[in-house]
Chains A and B, each alone.
Chain A
Amino acid sequence: MTRSIAIRAAAGLLGAGCVVWSAAPLVHKGLANLALVLAICGVAGGTLRLLLAGVPVPEDSFLLSTPLQAWLRFLETLRRVPWEEGAVLAIVWLEVLHSSRPWHTAVLGAALVAYLLATHLAESDASPGVLRPQVRVLAVGAALLALGAGAGMLPAAGPGAGSALLRLVAAGALIAAAALVLPYVASRE
């Protein structure tokens, strides 16, 4: 019980930290305020969903009182909305609105992956030990994250011929990732 509460709290804190990290310092362009509100709502909704995951829902709600029915409707909505996906999109959007700060973005990336992993552990009520097989891949990912941050600091990464090459590489990576991921997703739907 203590472990599950701790993981839920960790997920909430990591989400809040990601929002603060991506929003600071505040900018006033590109619907930044809207993105900030969406990010806060996403993290808060996801944390609330995790906290209320254990609340049972009766199968029959016909004879229940109106406040109880409203509460059940709220729970149903809370459990159906993909809060974390919305929060991730809003956080990435907030980070984009800032000028290039590669190491800051790399730390945000690590925090976002940690947030998603903690959320998964909390909602499946699993121990952190289940992530042990993924440690090597996560280490490689961290290395790539650092490489990306390093690449962002290179002068060639600015506007110019080098950036066009980078765009091609990124697009190729996108296509490769999609090629890897799409059959995997399509086979489940």
Chain B
Amino acid sequence: MSHVLGPNGPAPDAVGTAERSPAPGGSGGSSPRASTVSLQWRSSRHARRLLTLGLAALFVATVARRPEFAGLAAPALLLLAAGRSQPRPPRISLGTRPSTRRAFEGELVAIDLVIAGQGGCSVRWTLHPGREIEIAGPAGATTADGPQARFTFSPQRWGRREIGTVDVVLRDRWRLAEGHLTVNLPTLDCYPAPAQQRTQVVLSRLRNRLGEHAARTSGEGIEFAGVREYVPGDRQRSINWPASTRRGRLQVNTFAAERSQDVVLLVDGTSDVGEPGSSAIDLALRGAAAAAGAYLDARDRVGVISYHWGAVGWLVPGLGRRQVYRIIDSMLASERGAAGPAQGTSMRRLPRAALPPGALVVVFSPLLDQRFVETLRDMRERGFTMLVVDVLNADPPVRPRSTDRMARRIWRMEQEAIRFSLRELGVPVVHWDGVQSLDLPLARYTRRPLVASGSRR
């Protein structure tokens, strides 16, 4: 009978008792999270084989009246009898400590396992990795011996991932009895690996808030805007002496004001098409994570809206590096369908804080859901400046039949029509394949400010 120990104590189907000892530092801290579990021992396969040999030989010796078979049984039975006295601990203490509870796709994570109270028994660990968990380290080893073990792995796809289970086998010194234990390892929040994006799309009309983007109005920035005549009150150090000498009057340099913008990332999670790992949602999440990092680096306020079948989850635009993680957490929570206070709101009923007027809306979508496309048109008519990053990289499967080929052509034409209609409304649509940097498809819009339409909201 094997035991199952969950990350928060014994699972309901666990046999025996488990007690949690204090875990200083908690998960990911300096000390492993330890639990005490009861073990029930059973005979090993080796013991069963020896028993078979001993009993068979004794039986033959008795029935066939051949004493040499009694001698044949002797070593096996002696081993079994002598092995009974080996100490086998009824309880052990088991600790697990992952190096982190949050990681990006492909990032190396280690988990330390420690056992105590096993006495002289040998310990063997066998890791069974969960879905989308790839074992790293030397030769992808999934087994280890000794009271301490460390397994290194990397999550391959975003989401809440179960690291897997570990089978622990304790063997007594004579290896005639085994104690089995199955431990469910803790879960790991895997973030989508952000794509590469260094440039930002900047609106032509920026809010009157300090930032790093050069605005059209003059101000106290560092980007040169022009030269004008000196008026009393101007700083003496801004006098442009060459221009003053040429014109015979004092001229001063003017600089562009530096402002920030509100950016709202709109992630369409309705359609997940394509190969797992490079599907539309994968690309949308990675692109949104990259955009969040790029705009937050430029001191913009960034928020996110996750769209799912007409309902949305949202996060108010904010500043700082922590906002990146809040945004990714919000997107992952929406993907999991975790109901929060901001979950389930209709797109039309979003508060102004979630979708501020004058904000730049960057949309990541495969544009397959007609209702979402209608939502984009509606937002455009309400005056939002939008940019759509098309993350559709898959075609419908087609069989070698003329009707299938025809259907595929019609589908492609419909997709082109959707994109064309959005462009006609003034919504740029760029295609991103998920491999190259996001800067490349966005280059046309990052070189000069994106003309912001007046908000009619």
Contacts and interface: CB of A to CB of B under 8 A. Distances in A.
Interface of A: 59, 82, 84-85, 88-89, 92, 95-96, 100, 102, 105-106, 108-110, 112-113, 116-117, 119-120, 123-126, 130, 133-134, 137-138, 140-142, 144-149, 151-152, 157, 159, 163, 166-167, 169-171, 173-174, 177-178, 180-181, 184-185, 187-189
Contacts of B82: 134, 137
B253 to A, nearest CB: 68
Interface in B74-127: 74-82, 84, 122, 124
Contacts of A133: 173-174
B58 A170 contact: yes
A34 B239 CA distance: 110
Interface in B30-81: 40-62, 64-81
B67 A189 contact: no
Nearest to A102: B68
Contact of B65 (A117, A147, A167, A181): A167
B175 interface: yes
A124 B65 CA distance: 37
A126 to B, nearest CB: 7
B175 A138 contact: no
A15 to B, nearest CB: 12
A169 to B, nearest CB: 8
B271 interface: no
Chain B, interface residues (CB within 8 Å), range: 35 or more
B74 A145 contact: yes
A81 to B, nearest CB: 12
B360 interface: no
A159 B51 CA distance: 28
A141 B122 CA distance: 25
B62 A116 contact: no
A166 B67 CA distance: 7
B68 A100 contact: yes
A138 B77 contact: no
Contacts of B80: 177, 180-181, 184
A137 B49 contact: no
A142 B174 CA distance: 18
SS of B interface (majority): helix
B177 interface: yes
A159 B24 CA distance: 74
Contacts of B54: 177, 181
Contact of A106 (B53, B71, B84): B71
B62 A181 contact: no
Interface in B151-172: 171
Contacts of B74: 141, 144-145, 148
B68 A92 contact: no
A140 B78 contact: yes
21 contacts: A82-B49, A84-B45, A85-B52, A96-B60, A96-B66, A106-B71, A108-B72, A116-B76, A119-B49, A124-B46, A124-B124, A144-B75, A146-B71, A148-B67, A149-B68, A151-B70, A171-B62, A174-B55, A177-B80, A178-B55, A181-B80
Nearest to B62: A170
A124 B75 CA distance: 21
B27 interface: no
Given A148-B69, A188-B40, A88 B78 contact: no
A123 B124 CA distance: 12
A144 B50 CA distance: 16
Contact of B51 (A146, A147, A185): A185
Nearest to A154: B67
B49 A177 contact: no
Nearest to B60: A96
Contacts of A163: 65
A96 B171 CA distance: 34
A78 B405 CA distance: 47
A123 B45 contact: yes
A109 B42 CA distance: 26
A173 B65 CA distance: 13
B70 A173 contact: yes
A180 to B, nearest CB: 5
B78 A137 contact: yes
Contact of A92 (B42, B47, B60): B60
A149 B74 CA distance: 11
B151 to A, nearest CB: 15
Q: In the complex, which of the residues A123, A124, A126, A167 has the most CB atoms of chain B within 10 Å of its own CB atom?
A: A124
Contacts of A188: 40-43, 177
Contact of B174 (A102, A123, A134): A134
A187 B53 contact: no
Nearest to B41: A188
A174 B175 CA distance: 23
Contacts of A184: 43, 80, 84
Contacts of A185: 43, 47, 51
A102 B58 CA distance: 15
A106 B50 contact: no
Given A124-B46, A184-B80, 19 more contacts: A89-B56, A92-B60, A105-B69, A109-B71, A113-B53, A113-B76, A116-B50, A120-B44, A124-B175, A126-B122, A141-B76, A141-B79, A142-B75, A144-B71, A144-B74, A148-B72, A151-B67, A167-B62, A177-B55
A37 B53 CA distance: 19
A105 B78 CA distance: 18
Q: Nearest 10 CB-CB pairs, A to B?
A: A148-B71, A141-B75, A188-B42, A144-B74, A152-B68, A109-B72, A120-B46, A151-B67, A102-B68, A105-B68
